[in-house]
Amino acid sequence: MSDNVLVINAGSSSLKYSLIDAVSGEAAAAGLVERIGEPEGHHLHRGPDGEISISLKVASHEDALRAALDAFEQHGPSLDDLTAVGHRVVHGGSRFGDPALIDDDLVAAVTELVPLAPLHNPANLEGIRVARRLFPDLPQVAVFDTAFHQTLEPAAYTYAVPLAWRDDHGIRRYGFHGTSHAFVSAEAARFLGRDLAEMNMIVLHLGNGCSAAAIRGGVSVDTSMGMTPLEGLVMGTRSGDLDPAIHAHLVRELGWTVEEVDRALNSASGLKGLAGANDFRELSTRMEAGDPAAQLAFDVYCHRIKKYIGAYYAVLGTVDAIVFTAGVGQHSAPVRAASLTGLDRLGIQLDPARNNATTPGTVSTDDSAVTVLVIPTNEEWQIARETTTLLR
């Protein structure tokens, strides 16, 4: 069996794919089909011929995957020795603590979880249905965003709400970004030449979505996202933590519907709500130009990260490493500096020159008791690895 896995990440109006060697992590091709269902869609395919960009109408996820297969055929590389298809699935509920082989039962189980992830799971399922139709002879594996956090103890995952909510409706903390937290924590240990099983880490995944995880010996013990990806850190368009009574206030005082509140907290809050921009680069530019709303957004964002570092330090007792990853975590030295400032008594000392360098690696001083690292994430590689590991 070869190590080539086609990794598929199907969103509500997009389909991302990459062809990855599960052992080396090398991506021979990658692509993105966007604006599925709109009058004009777009397809970007990167492979041996370089980058191919095509505007085309894409009516469905099936059209999107067919467009991807056409691009492989016309521009390469060949998909002849494909071993499996690995799918990113956002919500695995309490049922999936590991990747799982896709069959009719799995599709039914993921369908049952749709109420917990109404935006994500239906799109993931559509990707699975289409790929099973187009690759009927290949094994396909579902890798869940929630799975890595299934190791949380009841004290960490239980919300203080009535038993019936928890028992009958699955209301508990699940956590997300698990594929990234698993990859980055293992990479951090490898980078330091240490045994993951003997390390305590706080991982900060700061992308469009943001989450923190407390990881003891490679095992997730707490994480900031909850039943849905709305809880926790401030994100591009999501509020993160807020008083749940604000929801009732908006309904009562402003006459909003539940859907309006949900949409506002998921799509119009976070950095976008604070400063009108969810892209961190735009926010940084405006902050440097002295825009007070951008400055406040930055301050709220970093204050929340610092609070979670303190909380997870207490949860873990000792911390060997704090690891920053994803777009903002990897590229924004000011975020790392503001989030870690004043934590010397916790043994956290950032080295300004290392922090301002653009290469990943150690950004703390040699004397810092806690090593601070910048480690790029690679969720596609992790999905490919978990796929082949399961099949072997």
Q: Among all residues, which ones are annotated catalytic? A: 145
Binding of ligand ADP by 279 (CB under 6 A) = yes
- Write down the least CB distance from residue 143 to ligand ADP, Å: 16
Of the candidate residues 54, 281, 318, 357, the single one contacting ligand ADP (CB under 6 A)? 281
- Write down the least CB distance from residue 228 to ligand ADP, Å: 16
CB 21 within 8 A of CB 28: yes
Query: Which regions of 224-334 does DSSP assign to beta strands (E)?
Result: 321-325
Cα of 333 vs its chain's centroid, Å? 20
- Write down the least CB distance from residue 239 to ligand ADP, Å: 16
Of the candidate residues 31, 47, 99, 327, the single one contacting ligand ADP (CB under 6 A)? 327
* Alpha-carbon span 107 to 102, nearest angstrom: 7
Half-sphere exposure of 378 (CA within 13 A, CB side): 19
Pairing of strands 219-223, 210-216: antiparallel
Number of chain positions touching ligand ADP (CB under 6 A): 13
Nearer to ligand ADP, 85 or 326 (CB): 326
- Number of C-beta neighbours around residue 160 at 10 A: 5
CB 191 within 8 A of CB 229: no
Task: Mark 210-239 with x for binding to ligand ADP (rule: CB under 6 A) and - for no binding.
Answer: --------------------------x---
The answer to whether the peptide bond before residue 77 is cis (omega within 30 degrees of 0) is yes
Nearer to ligand ADP, 127 or 209 (CB): 209
Nearer to ligand ADP, 17 or 135 (CB): 17
Of the candidate residues 239, 332, 355, 388, the single one contacting ligand ADP (CB under 6 A)? 332
* Alpha-carbon span 122 to 117, nearest angstrom: 8
| Listed residue (19, 298, 312) closest to 181, CA to CA | 312
- Write down the least CB distance from residue 149 to ligand ADP, Å: 17
Residues that bind ligand ADP (CB under 6 A): 207-209, 236, 279-281, 284, 326-328, 331-332
